[in-house]
Structure 1
Amino acid sequence: MAGTPVQVTGTVLTTRRVDAYHALTVVAPGIADRFRPGHFVTVAVGGRQTSMLTRRAFAVHDVKSDYGGTVEFVFAVRGPGTAWLADRKARDALDMVGPLGRPFPLPRDPATCLLVGGEYGSAPLFSLADALHQRNCRVDFVLGAASSDRVFGALRARRIGETTTLTTQDGSLGMRGSVVDVLPAVIADTRADVVYACGPMPMLRGVTAVCVEFDIPVQVSVEEAMACGIGVCMTCVVPVIGDDGATRMVRVCTEGPVFRGERVRFDDVGTIPFDALGAPGGDRGR
């Protein structure tokens, strides 16, 4: 049953503020049972009479076996949907679907794994770290954001990571700059075998470029706006190069959110490249 999504009416167990973010823990046994690191959930917002029809997608931060299975996700208030979620209280009901998407692939053998997170994009990296430790992998962290209150999980990373490097654009925590700035030195110091990254698209683009330069594999969990979360609405398509070398517009919610970084055409996100299959003139000569 692992990975098969279900729709459940979950019950909010706890709500908490984590600096600039909100975290909700929801009793959702069917989703928790099927979860793998990198999966996400979608949540209906606004209540039954709402005009907000589309669900909101959130990466899963943590899953526990308590109360038959709980799911925790982290978010920032960015509009009416997330504002409504931030007002939820314990025992409120939430309509959730999950687990959704393609999870992080794990190394077959013990490896040195570098986990890179930007803002609350680092939330899904901690369940990944737990899974990697179970496979006797070494885990190091690089976490960053604009300011200290937007770096998520620094204390936990320091507790479970072999090393943890923190960056902020304003210098309020760790080193001044971005995760991309420090990445080459950290890859060299840790002798990383593989990089896993989650965060804003510009960050993923920069992380991927560094990993290509170092010739090490990189798995990125792409942040792209989703409306349905199940592959129907096509709002979350990005251009990705397939095994055959051809570019296709693929859905982040079903073919992703995890991709091999070098396969994502970050420079063309938001467009349909002229050479993509199905694009106007994209499949000429094929």
Structure 2
Amino acid sequence: MRKFTETEVVENVNIAKDIYRLKLNIPDIVKSVEPGQFLNIYFQNSPNIFPRPFSIAGIDDDNILILYKVVGKQTEKMSSWQKGYKTVVLGPLGNSFDLSSDNDISHVLVAGGVGIAPLMFVCDKLSLMGINPYFFIGAKNKSELLIIEDPKSRLYISTDDGSAGFAGNVVDHFKSVINSIKKPVSVYACGPDEMNKALVNMGVVPGIRVQVSLERVMACGLGICQGCAIKTKDISGNNYYSLVCKDGPVFKGGEIIF
């Protein structure tokens, strides 16, 4: 159940170019979080600033892990938070990925940039279920790669400039090896919309199921402001609007209208 909670920074480490791993001590909610959900983090010294949503990247004892990229004033402030700094969070928010425990399914994670965050949590959860997933990770270049090895998965690295791994985008990398992966395939994805759209189109092929975690600018995180509305459709093809913060952020591929 979501709740406002005061939390303390346990760790805030620069792990790649402009990317940080933030560890927050939140024992009250850590046992209830699921892969795909997110937290709203508030900025105590900026009362007129809306909170920012961040995907949960994993749990560590009583701590929740967050990955973030410095892209503006608020994330720049976050990068200066030291151990012991106190702030307030609201969460867990949103829905979660549907993780099948069927060993006859090939589980494939596809991450673009910092979209890797919720998929790291998915990978941890699948590992606890005894599943060794395929993990496709894409970045602009080698300096922005967050993982270069992972004993919990079969790792496939790609960079747009070819500085590490496959030269090209992560979807093309996935397509290049899809025929060697046993079907049916369950794809869990998070990244830029163009990446998500390409994967959703792959989901039209029999034997491939796609779930996508969408990234959107949010104000409240509760469905009140309706600032994160997207076009979706039901199984009959009827169009309607969904809220990423409340109805998502995870959607079945066939539900999203890009």
TM-score, with length taken from structure 1? 0.85
Q: How many angstroms apart in 2 are the aligned matches of 1:115 and 1:220? A: 10
The superposition leaves residues 100-129 of structure 1 with CA deviations (integer Å, 9 ceiling, x where unpaired) of 100001114222100000111111112211
Q: Tell me, yes or no, if structure 1 residue 116 matches structure 2 residue 113.
A: no
- Superposed CA RMSD in Å reads 1.5
CA deviation after TM superposition for structure 1 residue 241, in Å: 0.9
Q: How many angstroms apart in 2 are the aligned matches of 1:24 and 1:130? A: 17
**1:1-286 alignment, distance < 5 Å:** 4-20=1-17, 21-45=19-43, 47-48=44-45, 50=46, 52-65=48-61, 69-110=62-103, 111-156=105-150, 159-161=151-153, 163-192=154-183, 193-213=185-205, 215-266=207-258
Q: How many angstroms apart in 1 are the aligned matches of 2:109 and 2:170? A: 11
CA deviation after TM superposition for structure 1 residue 51, in Å: 5.2
CA deviation after TM superposition for structure 1 residue 214, in Å: 5.2
Structure (1 or 2) with the larger CA radius of gyration: 1
Structure 1 contact 241–248 (Cα < 8 Å) conserved: yes
The superposition leaves residues 246-267 of structure 1 with CA deviations (integer Å, 9 ceiling, x where unpaired) of 111110011000001121011x
Structure 2 gap ranges (5+) = none
Work out the percentage of aligned pairs sharing the same amino acid: 28
Structure 1 gap ranges (5+) = 267-286
CA deviation after TM superposition for structure 1 residue 229, in Å: 0.9
CA deviation after TM superposition for structure 1 residue 215, in Å: 4.4
Aligned length: 255
Structure 2 contact 35–122 (Cα < 8 Å) conserved: yes
Structure 1 contact 239–265 (Cα < 8 Å) conserved: yes
| Secondary structure in structure 1 of the residue aligned to 2:194 | helix
The superposition leaves residues 134-177 of structure 1 with CA deviations (integer Å, 9 ceiling, x where unpaired) of 33333011100111122222323xx211x211111111110111
| Secondary structure in structure 2 of the residue aligned to 1:206 | helix
CA deviation after TM superposition for structure 1 residue 83, in Å: 1.0
Q: How many angstroms apart in 2 are the aligned matches of 1:145 and 1:105? A: 25
